[in-house]
Amino acid sequence: MKEALLYEKLDKSLVHCYLCSHHCKIADQGFGFCGVRQNLEGTLYTHAYGNVISAQVDPIEKKPLYHFLPGSSSFSIATRGCNFRCGFCQNWEISQQSFKDGSSSLGEEELSPSDIVEEALKNDCKSIAYTYTEPTIFFEYAYETARLAKEKGLRNIFVTNGYMTKECLIMIKPYLDAANVDLKFFNDASYKKICLGSLSPVLDSIRLMKELGIWIEITTLLIPGENDSDVELSGIARFISGVDKGIPWHISRFHPDYKFSEYPVTPQESLKKAYSIGREAGLDFIYIGNVSGWGSDTACPACKKRLIRRDYFNILEYNIKESRCIYCRERLPGEF
* DSSP result, 295-315: S--EE-TTT--EEEEEETTEE
Give the per-residue pLDDT at 161. 98
Residue 104 has pLDDT above 60, yes or no: no
The whole-number pLDDT of residue 275 equals 98
Residue 26: strand pairing partners: 15
Cα distance between residue 159 and residue 181, in whole Å? 6
**pLDDT digits over 191-226, tens only?**
999 999 999 999 999 999 999 999 999 999 999 999
DSSP annotation of 331 reads B
Task: Kindly state whether residues 38 and 67 are assigned to the same domain.
Answer: no
pLDDT at 293: 84
- Widest CA span in the chain: 66
| Residues 135-148, mean pLDDT to the nearest whole number | 98
pLDDT computed for residue 148 by the predictor: 98
Residue with the bigger pLDDT between 99 and 146: it is 146
Query: Residue 113 phi/psi, 5° resolution?
Result: -55, -40
Separation between Cα atoms, residue 184 and residue 193, nearest integer Å: 12
Q: What is the CATH number of the domain that holds 224?
A: 3.20.20.70
Overall average pLDDT of the 262-286 stretch? 97
Same domain, yes or no: 131 and 164: yes
pLDDT for position 106: 65
Q: How far is Cα 295 from Cα 286, in angstroms, rounded to an integer?
A: 8
**Residue 110 shares a structural domain with residue 223:** yes
User: 225 and 336 share a domain?
Assistant: no
Whether residues 95 and 20 share a domain: the answer is: no
* pLDDT bucket at 103, cuts 50 / 70 / 90: low
Residues 266, 320 within the same domain: no
Task: Tell me: do 241 and 252 sit in the same domain.
Answer: yes
pLDDT of residue 76: 98
Measured from the Cβ of residue 174, the count of other Cβ atoms closer than 10 Å reads 11
166 with 29, same domain: the answer is no
* Contacting residues for 49 by C-beta, under 8 A, at least 6 apart: 1, 2, 138, 140, 141
Domain encompassing residue 40: 2-46
Same domain, 56 and 31: no
For residue 240, the surrounding DSSP H or E stretch is helix 230-243
Chain center to CA of 139: 13
Asked if 264 and 330 sit in the same domain, the reply is no
Calculate the average pLDDT of the chain.
96
Amino acid 99: pLDDT: 87
Same domain, 142 and 270: yes
Per-residue buried b or exposed e for 39-65, using 16+ beta carbons within 10 Å of the residue's own CB: beeeebbbbbbbbbbbbeebbbbbbbb
Query: CA 163 to CA 20: how far, in whole Å?
Result: 6
Residue 105 banded pLDDT, cuts 50, 70, 90: low
pLDDT tens digits along 120-132: 999 999 999 999 9
Q: What pLDDT sits at residue 100?
A: 84
- In the predicted structure, residue 166 carries a pLDDT above the cut 90: yes
Number of domains in the chain: 3
Residues 304 and 290 grouped into a single domain: no
Cis status of the peptide bond prior to 64, with omega within 30 of 0: yes
